[in-house]
Amino acid sequence: TQLLEQSPQFLSIQEGENLTVYCNSSSVFSSLQWYRQEPGEGPVLLVTVVTGGEVKKLKRLTFQFGDARKDSSLHITAAQPGDTGLYLCAGLITQGGSEKLVFGKGTKLTVNP
């Protein structure tokens, strides 16, 4: 059972379009992170959201943490081919007395020129 469900799994759009990807769970997280991973490389942190309802912007990317800290969304405005990649969300939980990040399976985004 996946603790974090990401949707859609795959998304292919044209340059200039807007898109939103989702990260959902029935669990509450201390914080939530979004990463982008390119082929042959490790994930790279984009943002961390901590407070329920928090919104953070990174250029054309807008990240929102749900009020109940169970879900998050990533919205990209005017997507560009350089946005192509695997977008992963990761929630911080405490399990067995230690903290750990649990990852969703990701949304694979392709932006066509």
How near is the Cβ of 18 to other proteins at its closest, in Å?
26
Does 10 help bind other proteins (rule: CB under 8 A)? Answer: no
102 interacts with other proteins by CB under 8 A? yes
Compute the distance between CA of residue 113 and CA of residue 2 in angstroms, rounded to an integer: 33
Nearest Cα neighbor of 30 from 72, 83, 74 is: 72
- Residue 28 touches other proteins, criterion: CB under 8 A: no
Note whether 64 and 76 are within 8 A (CB): no
* Cβ distance to other proteins smaller for residue 19 or 46: 46
**Separation in Å, CA 22 to CA 41, 69, 95, 99:** 23, 13, 24, 23
Question: Of 67 and 99, which CB lies nearer to other proteins in the complex structure?
Answer: 99
User: Interface residues with other proteins (CB under 8 A)?
Assistant: 2, 30-31, 40-45, 48, 88, 90, 92, 95-96, 98-106
